[in-house]
Amino acid sequence: MTLAPRRLLSRLRDLRARAAAPLPELVRLVAAELVSEVCSIYVQRPGDILELAATEGLNPSAVGTTRLRVGEGIVGLCAATAAVMNLPDAQNHPAFAYRPETGEDPFASLIAVPVRRSGRTLGVLVVQNRQPRHFNDQEVDDLETVAMLLAELLPAIGAAEGTTEGLGATVPRVFAGISLMTGIAIGPVVLHATRRTGIKLLADDPDAELVRLHEAAERMQRGLDTLIADVSPSGRSAEASASREVLEAYRLVAADAGWLRRVGDVIRGGLTAEAAVQRVAGEMHDRMRRIPDAYLRERLADMEDLANRLLTTLTGDEPRGEIPPGAILLARRLGPAELLDWHAAGIAGVAVEEASPAGHAAILARALDIPAVGATRGMLDTAEPGDIAVIDGDEGQLVLRPDTDVRNAYSRALEAKGQRYARWASLIGKPAVTADGTGLKLMLNVGLSMELPQLDRTGADGIGLFRTEIAMMARGAIADVAEQAAIYARALDEAGERPVLFRTLDLGADKMLPGTVVEEENPAMGWRSLRVGLDRPALLRRQLRALLLAAGGRPLSVMFPMVATVGEFRIAKNLLQAEAKRVRPTPERLTIGTMLEIPALMWQLPELLKEADFISVGSNDLMQFMFAADRGTPSLYERYDLLSQPMLDLLDQLVSAAQSAGVPVSLCGEAASRPIEAMTLAALGITSLSMPASGILPVKALLAEVDLSAFRPVLSAIRRGGMSAGSLRDPIVSWAREHGLPV
């Protein structure tokens, strides 16, 4: 009783050509081909309503009357999850919503297939039977093909009014999301063209379509090779060479034959190469939405990106026309290669409906310094090319068609920022010194080589934290010794005389390599970071060798993350020293330090300070463990603060112990980039701060105006008085304001 897909498809094609009102005919046709009693189409209306638009087998008077909310009943659930519901006994499913007017009582089984286009659900195709029946994979596949055809048909016949109508195309809208990269950009909207209409769906000759697919895949692969080769690793630009790291990972995904095989299967089912690629891209997209592992999700995003490239190759489309200057790119998803393309075309900001801060697009946006926001769902339903949009990367929101007041306010903020930067520019290259003459070292946190130019741009004093795992995440796997050595050597070359503190791999928790399955309940406190290195010493040793090779005789500083005991530090240090004996030339000076991220180390200071050459406080993790508050949960942000009595006491004790032992202390968490925190840390005696590039100049500007000798007694008094207060921020900020400091 399976569908005869080719025959059905050709009948559908005829139907599309001649029928004026094709929906009733279509449901009749599908019901007949499936030998099913019922076939219905529900269409999504504004306000997230699904309305019965055509039926064969249910009560005809229910058409236009029966309505379900998205999420309500099995049809609503199918629309909400974009997943096929294949239920032999639908009426006993917990989500079943009974609608008496349809007369559906006698029908036991139900299959609901979402009708989707450009990532949006336009409706649901439903087939019902009296007998309990479970559709097999082939039948589900065929129904999905019918749904795909429906997705083309519905807008053409005006059946899907879409969710945009009635919302008004000129009203301002604010889409709250998350910040991927700070900064503000204002400009005309350009849409990332993944929306393709009018492609031919049904193939005349599947064999010819398979040939077209393979030719296009080869052309795309060659194009990618050229794109990657153009970004030469030996080129001057470190930015370019790190793009290469991400692109190499991308090329590996492109070379994976699995998804092309799937496209081939769909073509053999009767679709054209374009339609098959689009179908498989849609499947990947839907699968991706259900994957909890963030990095695996990003890999699938790369595949979707590739599918779009392949479509462009097949259709010969120019992906875009002229880009207006300062344009704001809106995308549903964005792959790394695409972001580089758009960056080259001159966009000023990006909003991506489905993006996470750890995703490739976000990593690249930060490295390229493009204000970016993510998770701005729904924006593509209302935005039109040419609309004015504001990317507010500081607040993590997109403002579409801002009214004049809002637009002017953003323009003023942008202008003020420009002026501040112009003032700060005079500080580049000058040492960081407080008003009363305390010198500080302001260093950079770096993850990808493309961030290295920030050293010169900000005039930082060196790299205080090189997060070695980020480049591995960008390429999707741990590079071999030679490749790692090349990455580290680039950082040392670029830094020249300035120090670089390399941190060994800190994988785990929120930084996973693709394919890693986490079975721990609390991965942040699980088998991560140095723990992995100590249990897999060959992996750690390879990295240490790569670092020594990269140094090639130059001074080398290495630190270990997530150290919990002096014993762990000792083992790691021994591994490094043993490796250093084997590698020639040996570094002129080898300094070995530890991060302080786990509070337990505080009670091992006497021993630790005998063994460590330096200590770098990782305040991001240290705070999450001090306050038992997950650093990635926004609703907890108010519940902990570096400017609190426990944290300041801890740092104070650390500094005194380290000073008596003659061991330098620095701090490299995000907190160091906030001027008020930096001022307080400087008052406590932490004079080496490592931070994201955006913090260097604002911190330097504030420090230049602070008299630490006046602030220290004030800080002591605030700390003494603040035992019961969660945060001491308010009195510290008030003091700064009273003294006219730029906070």
Active site positions, annotated: 360, 668
Whole-angstrom CA distances from 418 to 184, 339, 423 are 11, 25, 9
Q: Which does 298 bind (CB under 5 to 8 A by kind): ligand PEP, Mg ion, none?
A: none
Residue 193 identity: A
Q: Assess 618 for contact with Mg ion (CB under 5 A).
A: yes
Residue 526: CB atoms within 10 Å: 15
Q: Assess 597 for contact with ligand PEP (CB under 6 A).
A: yes
The minimum distance between CB 529 and ligand PEP, in angstroms, equals 8
Contacts with ligand PEP, 494-533, as mask; x by CB under 6 A = ------------x---------------------------
Of the candidates 349, 376, 354, 379, which has an alpha carbon nearest to the alpha carbon of residue 365? 349
Of the candidates 523, 492, 521, 487, which has an alpha carbon nearest to the alpha carbon of residue 507? 523
Contact segment (CB under 5 A) with Mg ion among 240-248, 358-366, 461-469, 619-627 equals: 619-627
Q: Which does 619 bind (CB under 5 to 8 A by kind): ligand PEP, Mg ion, none?
A: ligand PEP
Question: Are 655 and 685 contacting, i.e. CB atoms less than 8 angstroms apart?
Answer: yes
Cα–Cα dist 303/257, whole Å: 11
CA end-to-end span of the chain:
73
Cα–Cα dist 496/291, whole Å: 43
Smaller CB distance to ligand PEP: residue 11 or 531?
Answer: 531
- What SS3 state is found at 463? strand
508 DSSP 8-state letter: B
Q: Which does 668 bind (CB under 5 to 8 A by kind): Mg ion, ligand PEP, none?
A: ligand PEP
323 DSSP 8-state letter: P
Number of residues that bind Mg ion (CB under 5 A): 3
Q: Which does 104 bind (CB under 5 to 8 A by kind): ligand PEP, Mg ion, none?
A: none
The minimum distance between CB 357 and ligand PEP, in angstroms, equals 12
The minimum distance between CB 658 and ligand PEP, in angstroms, equals 17
Contacts with ligand PEP, 602-621, as mask; x by CB under 6 A = ----------------xxxx
Pairing of strands 665-667, 388-392: unpaired
Cα–Cα dist 245/262, whole Å: 28
Q: Assess 695 for contact with ligand PEP (CB under 6 A).
A: no
Smaller CB distance to Mg ion: residue 533 or 618?
Answer: 618
Smaller CB distance to ligand PEP: residue 252 or 629?
Answer: 629
In this chain, which of 25, 298, 305, 621 binds Mg ion, going by CB under 5 A? 621
- What SS3 state is found at 111? strand
Q: Assess 467 for contact with ligand PEP (CB under 6 A).
A: yes
Smaller CB distance to ligand PEP: residue 342 or 466?
Answer: 466
Q: Structure tokens of 724?
A: 């019961």
Of the candidates 479, 476, 516, 480, which has an alpha carbon nearest to the alpha carbon of residue 256? 476
Q: Assess 465 for contact with ligand PEP (CB under 6 A).
A: yes
User: Whose CB is nearest to Mg ion?
Assistant: 621
CB-facing half-sphere around the CA of 32: CA atoms within 13 A: 10
The minimum distance between CB 554 and Mg ion, in angstroms, equals 26
The minimum distance between CB 506 and ligand PEP, in angstroms, equals 6
Question: Are 323 and 346 contacting, i.e. CB atoms less than 8 angstroms apart?
Answer: yes
Q: Which does 579 bind (CB under 5 to 8 A by kind): ligand PEP, Mg ion, none?
A: none
Q: Which does 465 bind (CB under 5 to 8 A by kind): ligand PEP, Mg ion, none?
A: ligand PEP
Contact segment (CB under 5 A) with Mg ion among 328-336, 338-346, 609-617, 618-626 equals: 618-626
Of the candidates 310, 130, 95, 110, which has an alpha carbon nearest to the alpha carbon of residue 223? 310
| Contacts of ligand PEP in 651-670 (CB under 6 A) | 668-669
| Contacts of Mg ion in 547-606 (CB under 5 A) | 597
Residue 550 identity: A
Strands of the sheet with 397-400, listed across from one edge: 173-176, 397-400, 388-392, 184-191, 328-331, 349-352, 372-374, 178-181
Smaller CB distance to Mg ion: residue 272 or 543?
Answer: 543
- What SS3 state is found at 713? helix
- What SS3 state is found at 445? strand
Q: Which does 645 bind (CB under 5 to 8 A by kind): Mg ion, ligand PEP, none?
A: none
The minimum distance between CB 674 and Mg ion, in angstroms, equals 17
The minimum distance between CB 562 and Mg ion, in angstroms, equals 7
Q: Which does 669 bind (CB under 5 to 8 A by kind): ligand PEP, Mg ion, none?
A: ligand PEP
Write down how long the chain is: 743
The minimum distance between CB 690 and Mg ion, in angstroms, equals 12
CA 548 to centroid of chain Cα atoms: 32
- Enumerate binding residues for ligand PEP (CB under 6 A): 465, 467, 506, 597, 618-621, 668-669
Judged by the rule CB under 5 A, the positions of this chain that interact with Mg ion are: 597, 618, 621
